[in-house]
Amino acid sequence: MTGARFPFEYATLRVVPRVERGESINAGVLVYCRDLDYLGAAVHLDAARLQNLHPDADVAQIDSVLHSLADTCTASGAGPAAAEDIGRRFRWLTAPRSTVVQPGPVHTGLTADPAAELLHLLEVLVMPVPG
């Protein structure tokens, strides 16, 4: 018999170095599970892939933005959004924006362990595919 599974939502964090071109790479994942009171993020910026899209991209600045967004998920996160409940934070983090770091569409699933789901999604959706 399997354990209880709960609905969760997730979205990727995309880096779009030249917004006018619309090309992007996935650089993070957000996971929200209301039933388990969980909001988490994991990020990984592949600098080589980013520079293939835009050689002059400011890798350090983009990495800083990704980590700031991830920090918003934690209880000790900074900024006004960190003071909100986790549902509002997830909605703020996934709201459409036209900046270099953008959220992808929100998807849903079922999980017994949202933290493990976060790591799985990071591996599948963000990390480089072994060649």
Per-position b or e across 61-72, b if 16+ CB within 10 A of its CB? ebbebbeebbeb
Strand ranges (E), the chain: 6-15, 25-33, 38-43, 101-103, 107-111
pLDDT the model gives residue 1:
47
pTM of the predicted model as reported, rounded to 2 decimal places: 0.92
pLDDT the model gives residue 121:
98
Residue (of 87, 91, 105) closest to 24 by Cα position = 105
pLDDT the model gives residue 22:
86
All residue ranges of the chain with pLDDT < 50 are 1
pLDDT per position as a tens digit, 34-63: 999 999 999 999 999 999 999 999 999 999
